[in-house]
A and B are shown apart, each in its own frame.
Chain A
Amino acid sequence: GAGVSQSPRYKVAKRGQDVALRCDPISGHVSLFWYQQALGQGPEFLTYFQNEAQLDKSGLPSDRFFAERPEGSVSTLKIQRTQQEDSAVYLCASSPPTSGMAFFGQGTRLTVV
């Protein structure tokens, strides 16, 4: 597809379960970002990749959150031992080199019960 693709669209996890969220960026986009959007808030930065290198992970809220992009294309955000406060929409975005304009996917809505 032409846009950023995220899967699954919706995920319900029991507290303590591990989850993995996938992002397929736009082809050729070097930069990839993960954001977390809580209800009624704006997206908040989690982490940033340039190709396969994770250059900034300052927004990851705890060591239960882990992101990877091993081949510089598809990325996975993994959350271990999910907690209720992890419930949010997780947005992935990609952008061309040196551009600040990010293109977002539709997001994955995670609900931890």
Chain B
Amino acid sequence: DQQVKQNSPSLSVQEGRISILNCDYTNSMFDYFLWYKKYPAEGPTFLISISSIKDKNEDGRFTVFLNKSAKHLSLHIVPSQPGDSAVYFCAADTGTASKLTFGTGTRLQVTL
């Protein structure tokens, strides 16, 4: 039972363009969402988060959008840079801060 889904295993984007990574969830109890970035042989690194009381959170080149009615969130990276090439994981929490449920990840490749 995959409660957090990232249906695109990979994405290729040209440098300078926008990268859009998508995530869907099924558990309506989730109320806090996070994006993590992972380079090979490293642990996931926190990128940006959003609480369910908001529909948008922005931090520099990174913006996360949340559509609660559709149980969908997306991460926008603009402009994309080669250093953004990594695997991105969407994660969700029920607000208890006791565990995260992760998606399977999307591998982003930013080409020159």
Contacts and interface: CB of A to CB of B under 8 A. Distances in A.
Interface of A: 4, 6, 31, 33, 35, 40-45, 48, 55-56, 59, 91, 93, 95, 98-107
Given A43-B44, A91-B43, A91-B44, A100 B93 contact: yes
A10 B42 CA distance: 12
Given A45-B101, A99-B97, A105 B49 contact: no
A101 B43 contact: no
Tier of interface size on chain B: 20 to 34
B63 interface: no
Interface of B: 4, 6, 32, 34, 36, 41-46, 49, 89, 91, 93, 95, 97-105
B104 A100 contact: no
Residue among A31, A98, A103, A104 with the most chain B CB within 10 A? A104
A98 B97 contact: yes
Contact of A101 (B6, B46, B98, B101): B46
B105 A56 contact: no
